[in-house]
Each structure stands twice: as C-alpha cells, then as structure tokens.
C-alpha cells in the first residue's frame, strides 16, 4: 500500500464514522475500515499519515469555476489552466470542471487546445475532468456578468465545429428558450454532454419542454434565472419555480457568503435536498488571493468586499472563494457537515456521471482524499493517489 490515513473521523456518504482509517494503493482507495490499523499493516505501508482526530473526507468537486491564483481558464496558454488547478487543490478541490464564459468560437476553440495541453502537465493540481462552456447561447435579459456582445442563438455549423474538435466538453450551460435549442440539446445528448439551464429567461412551460429534451441541471440557481412575472395580471412561473416543481431537476448554488443569503441556502436544501443540490464556487481569477477593494477583473468588473461586482453594482460578477470557504458558509447556514460534504462531493459527482469513480470514500474509487479540522482548514490533499499537500 502507498498510503494509510488513520486515527481520523471518516466522512461517508450518509454518516460520519467516528474512528477509522483509509488505505490507498496506487491511484485507488484500497479500503475504508473502522478502528485503527495494527502494527503489521502500518509497517507494510510506504506512507503513514496520522491525522490526529481530524476528518478524512472525499475531496471537493467543483463543477463550475472560472479560474484562480490570478489566472482565468483559457485566457493565455496552458498555464491558465495549471495555475488555477494548483490554487484550488490546496483548498481541497480534487476534481474540477474549468468553465469558459461566453466568447467567440475562436476563443472557445483555443480553450479546447489549451485544456488538452495542460492535462499532460497538471500533476500538482485539481484533476480536470472536462470542460464546461457557460454560454454563449444565453438570454440578454439574464446576462448578469456575461458580455452581451458575445451572446447569440445557437448556430449548428458553429457548435458542431466546436464539438467535433474534442470529447473533453462535459457540460454546456445555455438558455433553453432560444430558437434552435431543441436540436442543440439533442446533439449534446447524443455526445453524452450535460445540458444545463443557465442565464435563462424561460417560463415554466418552456423549462418543462427543455427537461424533456435532456436539460436536467440549473446553473447557479437564483443567479440569472427568471422567476414569477405578470402578463395581463396572470402570474407566470419561471426557471426558479421550475427547479422546485420538477423533482428530478438538479441545481447548483454559489455559497460564497454573498450570492445567496443563509435563508436561500436553507431553502434550496430544504426543498431540493442534498441529493439534488451541488455547491459550486463560480470562482474567478482572484480566487485564493488577498486582493484589495477596487481590483479590476475586467473593465466592467471589480472586487469589492470579497466578491466580484459589476462596476455599476447592478449584479455580482462571480466569486473569489475557494471551496473550503464554501463549506464554512454552508455549515454556518445550519446544514450538517455530512450533508454539506455530500453536496460538495458525491452529488456533483453524480450530476456529472462520475459517481462510480470518485465523490465518496469507497473501495476501488479514485484516491481523491482530503483531511481537515473542525474549522475546515485543509492540511492533507491526495489526488488520484498523489499527495500534493
């Protein structure tokens, strides 16, 4: 065995085991056990880690994140992927889906090429499990911090050209009410790509249709999502209401302490539950950095009070939180540690279809393991069997 992590409290999918240890062989978890290993077992292991009563947990899985450590994914070369992955890894994120905002087809194609190059050199960072394109097929009415000049309806020739370049795209967020979206959704489904509703101005009836086409995830619920509106006195529900009415619709929420108050975190948890709710960072390039108020992210986005804002203060522009902070915020909202970790690991893994390989501490799964104390301070990170912290 390559590693034994012992003398810890093990966070399982539905409970915390008060005393136990985890063994790692190569890149996989060899076993999860109660109690402590005997002396012979410890002697046979190359690396023995006494966690001294701390929590042994599956690593965090961030399915929506734009950068970190001063870099934005795909803005630049392969370093624009490697540096954010290293930044997020030391804060407990073991699996990551780099997210690319609305842009030109040329920028999207460059992101694919840079991602491919970076995968071969990302040996000390969060494991990149695939790309997430957030846009450009969005509603201008729900653009948030997306740049309106890039927003457009789906064009078959464009998206087929992008999709034919790679199998690394694992998720695509778009506004489901746009013309041509049914055909686009069918294309994503054929290729096994997660279709997610985001920056969307759809009505409930439109979301129901989109769900039948294969849209089964809401991108950052409450952020840039339509809600109840009135037409000639009649109330028409939107994306937010659809998220709760459609039982098997998954949602993700930004839990950086700014985008959602505790009450809305509690609301999502109460009515969607930990099985259907994933925690995300939606972090920008300054995640993991201490930056002063007024620091520019883009000409129309600044950092202020620990969050990115449009300069006119009309909307947030993304977070600068690392995942350990997200967990602290959700705990502060009154959600238990075991449920919080489920929303940070197993549920995002299940949403992205990788729950058989990661997302929980189980024999045979990838050795994506973190150790933290009661304050969620991370002191050990193992990614696919390689210790990076």
Q: Which residues pair with 387 in a beta bridge?
A: 382
Reported as a pLDDT band with limits 50, 70 and 90, residue 41 is very high
Nearest to 341 by CA among 33, 129, 65, 61: 61
Q: What phi and psi, each to the nearest 5 degrees, are found at residue 195?
A: -100, 120
pLDDT at residue 323, rounded to an integer: 98
Kindly report, residue by residue over 318-350, the tens digit of the pLDDT: 999 999 999 999 999 999 999 999 999 999 999
Q: Report H helices in 227-292.
A: 239-245, 262-272
Domains in the chain with CATH codes: 3-56+376-387 (2.30.40.10), 60-357 (3.20.20.140)
pLDDT at residue 305, rounded to an integer: 95
Reported as a pLDDT band with limits 50, 70 and 90, residue 358 is very high
Q: Which residues contact residue 273 at a Cβ distance below 8 angstroms, ignoring those fewer than 6 apart?
A: none
**CA–CA separation, 343 and 338 (whole Å):** 9
pLDDT at residue 161, rounded to an integer: 98
Kindly report, residue by residue over 249-297, the tens digit of the pLDDT: 999 999 999 999 999 999 999 999 999 999 999 999 999 999 999 999 9
User: Angle 181-190/204-213 helices, nearest 10 degrees?
Assistant: 30
DSSP per-residue codes, 173-242: EE-TTSTTHHHHHHHHHHTTPEEEE-SB--BHHHHHHHHHHTEEEETTTTSSB---EEETTEEE-BHHHH
Kindly report, residue by residue over 84-123, the tens digit of the pLDDT: 999 999 999 999 999 999 999 999 999 999 999 999 999 9
69: which DSSP letter?
T
Burial class (CB in 10 A: 0-12, 13-18, 19+), 106: exposed
Q: Are 159 and 193 in contact (CB under 8 A)?
A: no
In the chain, count of helices (H) and strands (E)? 11, 25
> Please, what is the average pLDDT of the chain?
97
Give the angle 368-372-375 at the CA atoms, nearest 5°.
Answer: 145
Output the six-digit token pair for 91.
């804060």
Nearest to 70 by CA among 62, 80, 61, 78: 80
Give the angle 246-251-253 at the CA atoms, nearest 5°.
Answer: 145
List the beta strands (DSSP E) in 119-161: 127-128, 131-134
**CA–CA separation, 299 and 302 (whole Å):** 8
pLDDT at residue 286, rounded to an integer: 98
**CA–CA separation, 302 and 297 (whole Å):** 5
Kindly report, residue by residue over 204-219, the tens digit of the pLDDT: 999 999 999 999 999 9
pLDDT at residue 40, rounded to an integer: 93
């Amino acid at each position: 065995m390559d590693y034994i992590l012992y003398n810890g409290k093990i966070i399982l999918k539905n409970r915390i085991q008060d005393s136990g240890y985890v063994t790692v062989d190569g890149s996989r978890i060899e076993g999860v056990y109660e109690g402590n290993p005997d002396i012979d077992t410890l002697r046979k292991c190359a690396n023995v880690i006494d966690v001294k009563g701390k929590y042994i947990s599956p690593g965090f899985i961030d399915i929506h994140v734009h950068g970190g450590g001063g870099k934005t994914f795909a803005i630049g070369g392969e370093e624009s992927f490697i540096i954010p992955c290293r930044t997020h890894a030391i804060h407990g994120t073991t699996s990551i889906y780099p997210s690319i905002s609305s842009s030109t087809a040329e920028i999207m194609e460059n992101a694919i090429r840079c991602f491919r190059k970076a995968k071969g050199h990302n040996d000390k960072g969060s494991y990149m499990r695939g790309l997430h394109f957030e846009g450009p097929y969005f509603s201008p009415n729900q653009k948030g911090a997306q740049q309106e000049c890039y927003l457009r309806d789906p064009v078959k020739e464009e998206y087929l050209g992008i999709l034919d370049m790679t199998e690394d795209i694992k998720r695509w967020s778009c506004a489901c009410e746009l013309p041509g979206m049914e055909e686009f959704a069918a294309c994503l489904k054929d290729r096994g790509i997660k279709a997610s509703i985001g920056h969307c101005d759809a009505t409930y009836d439109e979301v129901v249709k989109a769900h039948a086409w294969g849209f089964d995830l809401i991108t950052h619920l409450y952020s840039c999502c339509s809600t109840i509106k009135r037409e000639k006195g009649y109330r028409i529900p939107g994306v937010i209401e659809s998220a709760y009415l459609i039982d098997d619709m998954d949602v993700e929420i930004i839990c950086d302490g700014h985008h959602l108050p505790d009450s809305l975190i509690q609301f999502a948890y109460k009515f969607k539950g930990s099985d259907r709710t994933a925690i995300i960072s939606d972090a920008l390039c300054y995640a993991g950095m201490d930056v002063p108020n007024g620091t520019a992210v883009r000409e129309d986005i600044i950092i202020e009070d620990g969050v990115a804002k449009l300069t006119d203060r009309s909307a947030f522009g993304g977070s600068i939180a690392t995942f350990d902070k997200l967990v602290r915020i959700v705990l502060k909202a009154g959600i238990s540690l075991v449920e919080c970790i489920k929303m940070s690991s197993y549920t995002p893994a299940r949403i992205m279809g990788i729950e058989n390989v990661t997302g929980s501490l189980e024999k045979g799964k990838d050795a994506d393991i973190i150790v933290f104390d009661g304050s969620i301070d991370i002191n050990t990170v193992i990614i696919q069997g390689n210790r990076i912290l």
